[in-house]
Amino acid sequence: MSEVQWRTLPDAELTARAQRRFDVLVTIDKGFEFETNLKNLTFGIVIVHVKRNRIEYYRPIFPALVEAVERVKAGGVIHVWAVPA
């Protein structure tokens, strides 16, 4: 979201802006699915569970992230969990 300067937006505004612009939203916000009316979404959500939001924690789960992005449907949620170190 930093590329489109949406990093500091509240969830409701982020969701409104993402509608019909994106197919999938990947986030580390574990509460996102509970704070959003999923049935109205035009995009899917992939929630990533990593120890820290740093690239080295994403590398081992990258294949699972790609698969989740390809599988998630509009209004759906897929969780991708990092293997504990």
Q: Specify the length of the chain in residues.
A: 85
pLDDT of res. 8: 83
Locate tokens 């704070």: which residue? 35
Of 18 and 45, more confident: 45
Q: In which domain, by residue range, is 17 found?
A: 2-81
CA distance 80 to 46: 7
Q: Which helix (H) or strand (E) holds 35?
A: helix 32-35
DSSP one-letter code for 23 = S
* Tens of pLDDT, residues 25-61: 999 999 989 988 899 899 999 999 999 999 999 999 9
The total domain count for the chain is: 1
pTM of the model: 0.87
* Tens of pLDDT, residues 61-83: 999 999 999 999 999 999 999 97
pLDDT of res. 36: 86
The identity of residue 39, as a single letter, is K
23-34 b/e with 16+ CB inside 10 Å = b?
A: ebbbeeeeebee
CA-CA-CA-CA dihedral for 33, 78, 48, 50, to nearest 10: 120
